[in-house]
Structure 1
Amino acid sequence: MELPYAEPYKIKMVESINRSTKEQRLKWIKKANYNLFNLTSDKVFIDLLTDSGTGAMSDKQWAEMMIGDESYAGSSSFLKLKKTVKKITGFKYFLPTHQGRAAENVLFSALVKEGDIVPGNSHFDTTKGHIEFRKATAIDCTIDEAFDTSKIHPFKGNIDIQKLKSVFKKYPAKKIPLVILTITCNSSGGQPVSVQNVKEVSKLCKQYNVPLFFDSARFAENAYFIKKREKGYESKTIKEIAKEVFSYGDGMTMSAKKDGLVNMGGFIALNSKEIFKQATVFNIMFEGFITYGGMNGRDMGALAIGLDEATEFNYLESRVEQVAYLGNKLVEFGVPVQQPIGGHAIFLDANKFVPNIPREEYRAQALAIEIYVVGGIRGVEIGTVLADRDPITRENRYPELELVRLAVPRRTYSNNHMDYIAVALKNIYDTRNEAKTGYVITEEAPIMRHFTTKFKKV
């Protein structure tokens, strides 16, 4: 008999989580103005709001925390991290930041100006927010297959080369400061990008003399999918695959709270000395001196270890396959999800799950609220609320997909938790036809509204 799979780690510490009743949760979510971000953590049983900074660190990472060098300039912890980033990415220059959106802020301050065009594959909320804040325009060039949740395609995060070529032909290169390739692509369901696609995008960018940058928050998970799905990469290590992918680009931003396996941190890495010099000015203005960039020395040390751990196959197999375990259970139950299952989260297709709720009543938000009320499970809407309003018309933007993301923290929950989530979702799906109305917005911010929006029931 073949031995069953077992996680490549054992548990050293546990954290209590609180159960609650449906009646309590109905009261709490109403008090939170029906925004899941407003709930305090003690009112959540299983927290799938994000996989950003919510994972469990290893014993080696905690040990590194104890020897962190907190020198303001030139700390040994910075040098450890710089060496690790160079080893894994191959990029020459490195700037630490306190998290991924800070890295975007620094880089875009150096590169993006009013009227610019920034193409990519389904830019995530902070990326698009930083672009539009500068009165520039993000253009989504993702392949069409990504918008059919039932279609099986191994690399739904890929950029459509013809779409990108059309952008290059329509706008002069001087108006396109960079192309952003997100690996894996969060907004399309945690879907990977193939090496072949990276090569094709890189070739086109070089032809038009436009820099290619990676949004690399989940680059290790992307490399895992390449190893499992792309011909010719079966015998390559995760580190070899990641380094090859980065070799086709000019730089990267990183939210280290994902594949860096830390609770806080980020960085910029690049090859251009000129862009590095420009970014350095903004890094000092916004983040701190260039050898700490808003990070503690102990956090930089933990990140150096985390990057090494996250680019090992055994860890990635455990992490990605746990998400697949949950996803496959939901598929068996008939629950509509983005397929194939992504690397860090399950994305529920609200258009198919609750089609009776009008889109203008934010059906994905309504579904996310119901999941919390029924099971104490906190997810997040990836739909019309997150898509925000058009900067010119101020009308709602209705994306092709209305999704609820259930992001699984790394090394945190057991498969018993996954079973609980699956059954809760099945129960909701079985009564889906009872859902007829959603919510309206009573208060919202002018940009990146979803974090603080207030709702009321229709």
Structure 2
Amino acid sequence: MAMAFEPEHAALQGFKTIIEPFRIHSTQQIPFPTREERLEAIRKAGWNLFGLRSEDVIIDMLTDSGTGAMSARQWAGMMEGDETYAGSRSYYAFRDAVHEITGFQEVIPTHQGRAAERILFSILGGKGKVIPSNTHFDTTRANVEYSGAKAVDLVIQEGRIPSSEHPFKGNMDIAALDKCISEVGAENVPVVMLTVTNNSGGGQPVSLENIRAVRAVCDKYKVPFFLDACRFAENAWFIKMREASCAHMTPMEIANAMFAQADGCTMSAKKDGMANIGGFLAMKCPEVAARCRDLLILTEGFPTYGGLAGYDMEAIAIGLREALDPLYLCYRARSTAYLAEKATSAGVPIMKPVGGHAVYLDASALLPHIPREEFPAQALALALYVEGGVRGCEIGSLMFGDVAKMELVRLAMPRRTYTQSHLDYVGEVIERVAAKARAKELNGYRIVEQSQWLRHFTVKLEPLQAYKL
């Protein structure tokens, strides 16, 4: 499927190059550990990329969550931060920005997205409940299951096939959703979640048509409908690019239309809030919001700060709007596609079409000699680090266990952080690792130690064969 990147700004139309719509105002030194130093670091970390120190990493693509660069306007806004405990002016700036984009009246700040998830599912979840989604992300699934409820993934079939070129592979399977609610009973489905974009499914977007179809099923059974809206702006951009009926709309108009179909949302503002920390829970229902605020006070803070400093809320208020800038979204999508082209030219299968926040390498296709019980995606992610100091993230059987449908390595793009030459370097690292993979020089791993919840964060591994220097 062709992907259009024609800039909307008149000054750039007709040019092939999509330039960064910003100047770099400040820089941060990159460490350059040697290959031997990297190998020693990952051994000490138990072959877990989450266990590395920042100085052990050259290019960090572990996540796009809270790792981006904030704008001059955001830094200036932070100087206006009001740290009043109750009734902070910064809260109302934050609330107004969320309301402008989502339309939700009830806005509850949290220190990050998983805090919003914990509060929501503590109120709505529980034993015997079933919560469907296109694909629950790791923290979402963990918070659903911690409440005693069952998390069910109902993404369309194309969303499970990395090579498929379907433009909206994050879409919910509407027939499967209807069947799920019918079989378990609407009284046992407290909420339907839809992740936009679908992170665990390769950063794939959800169409506005599909969002409306989910709404229709929820209306049929009188079940609330929430968005996991971490990357709502990127999803809006793909709707504009790929859904013909929305091509004339601005990203803000599309975002408004997306949220208009929902009853509420959870949000990590560390993604499309363009901030280093923060999140929120927003909704229509004042009764549920009141119960959520009661729990917020116990675990996060007073309802007008919710675990955030005033300056954090100022940064998020500005960042939410900046994330919807068409020039920024055009640059971001093109940057991700550029790295995808590098991986493809190196002969590495990837999740297609390319999403907005990351490139997903298909480890199953590249490493067919490593069975899933030996964690092929983790093997590939570790090879990228040892060979070139590039830290990515396994999204496969190590993260999700038997629930995993694919073995992917996510190379997430921190916002406004890396330049074209950084991505050229990552491309070279991918090419080197691909050559080793084809020569079957990469081997699997086994678990030595793991925790009950979100094991991938703290798991200890060991290679089944000695890593070759």
| 1:3 Cα deviation from its structure 2 partner | 6.0
Matched, 1:135 2:148: yes
Pairing partner for 1:106 from 101, 119, 123: 119
* Residue identity opposite 1:65 in structure 2: M
Number of residue equivalences:
450
Contact residue 347 and residue 406 of structure 1 kept, 8 A: yes
Contact residue 68 and residue 414 of structure 2 kept, 8 A: yes
Contact residue 354 and residue 435 of structure 1 kept, 8 A: no
TM-score (norm 2): 0.95
> What secondary structure sits across from 1:155 in the alignment?
coil
Contact residue 156 and residue 172 of structure 2 kept, 8 A: yes
Distance across 2 between alignment mates of 1:28 and 1:360: 24
TM-score (norm 1): 0.97
Aligned to 2:420: 415
Aligned to 2:362: 349
Distance across 1 between alignment mates of 2:267 and 2:232: 9
Aligned to 1:194: 207
> What secondary structure sits across from 2:359 in the alignment?
strand
Aligned to 1:428: 433
Aligned to 1:16: 29
* Residue identity opposite 1:343 in structure 2: G
* Residue identity opposite 1:441 in structure 2: I
| 1:58 Cα deviation from its structure 2 partner | 0.3
Give the 3 Å change call, closer, same or farther, for CA 309–2 of structure 1 in structure 2: closer
Distance across 2 between alignment mates of 1:398 and 1:428: 27
Aligned to 1:299: 312
Give the 3 Å change call, closer, same or farther, for CA 286–165 of structure 1 in structure 2: same
Aligned to 1:394: none
| 1:354 Cα deviation from its structure 2 partner | 1.0
Contact residue 358 and residue 437 of structure 1 kept, 8 A: no
Distance across 2 between alignment mates of 1:182 and 1:22: 38
Pairing partner for 1:442 from 410, 429, 448: 448
> What secondary structure sits across from 1:434 in the alignment?
coil
Distance across 2 between alignment mates of 1:437 and 1:363: 8
Distance across 1 between alignment mates of 2:238 and 2:458: 34
Give the 3 Å change call, closer, same or farther, for CA 27–425 of structure 1 in structure 2: same
Any residues of structure 2 matched to 1:379-418 within 5 Å, and which?
379-388=392-401, 397=402, 399-418=404-423
Distance across 2 between alignment mates of 1:400 and 1:110: 29
> What secondary structure sits across from 2:270 in the alignment?
coil
Pairing partner for 2:189 from 176, 199, 203: 176
Bigger shift: residues 245-254 or 327-336: 327-336
Distance across 1 between alignment mates of 2:386 and 2:20: 31
Contact residue 357 and residue 435 of structure 1 kept, 8 A: no
| 1:134 Cα deviation from its structure 2 partner | 1.4
| 1:147 Cα deviation from its structure 2 partner | 1.2
1:280-314 per-position Cα deviation (integer Å, ceiling 9, x unaligned): 11111111000000000000001000011001111
1:343-391 per-position Cα deviation (integer Å, ceiling 9, x unaligned): 1001111101111112111111111111100010001110111004xxx
Pairing partner for 1:451 from 449, 452, 457: 457
* Residue identity opposite 2:105 in structure 1: K
Aligned to 1:393: none
Aligned to 2:269: 256
1:229-270 per-position Cα deviation (integer Å, ceiling 9, x unaligned): 101211211110000000001000000000000000000110
Contact residue 379 and residue 442 of structure 2 kept, 8 A: no
Pairing partner for 1:331 from 344, 353, 370: 344
Distance across 2 between alignment mates of 1:2 and 1:178: 46
Identity %: 48
* Residue identity opposite 2:414 in structure 1: P
Distance across 1 between alignment mates of 2:442 and 2:80: 56
Matched, 1:37 2:50: yes
Contact residue 361 and residue 440 of structure 1 kept, 8 A: yes
Matched, 1:240 2:253: yes
Aligned to 1:392: none
Distance across 1 between alignment mates of 2:27 and 2:179: 52
> What secondary structure sits across from 2:193 in the alignment?
strand
Contact residue 121 and residue 141 of structure 1 kept, 8 A: yes
Unaligned 5+ segments in structure 2 are 1-13, 465-469
| 1:398 Cα deviation from its structure 2 partner | 5.2
Contact residue 383 and residue 442 of structure 2 kept, 8 A: no
Matched, 1:289 2:294: no
* Residue identity opposite 1:438 in structure 2: G
Aligned to 1:155: 168
Distance across 2 between alignment mates of 1:71 and 1:11: 33
Distance across 1 between alignment mates of 2:172 and 2:348: 28
Distance across 1 between alignment mates of 2:34 and 2:223: 54
Distance across 1 between alignment mates of 2:175 and 2:183: 12
Matched, 1:229 2:242: yes
* Residue identity opposite 1:431 in structure 2: K
1:71-107 per-position Cα deviation (integer Å, ceiling 9, x unaligned): 0000100000111111111111100000000000111
* Residue identity opposite 1:413 in structure 2: Y
> What secondary structure sits across from 2:107 in the alignment?
strand
Bigger shift: residues 318-327 or 328-337: 328-337
| 1:436 Cα deviation from its structure 2 partner | 5.4
> What secondary structure sits across from 1:347 in the alignment?
strand
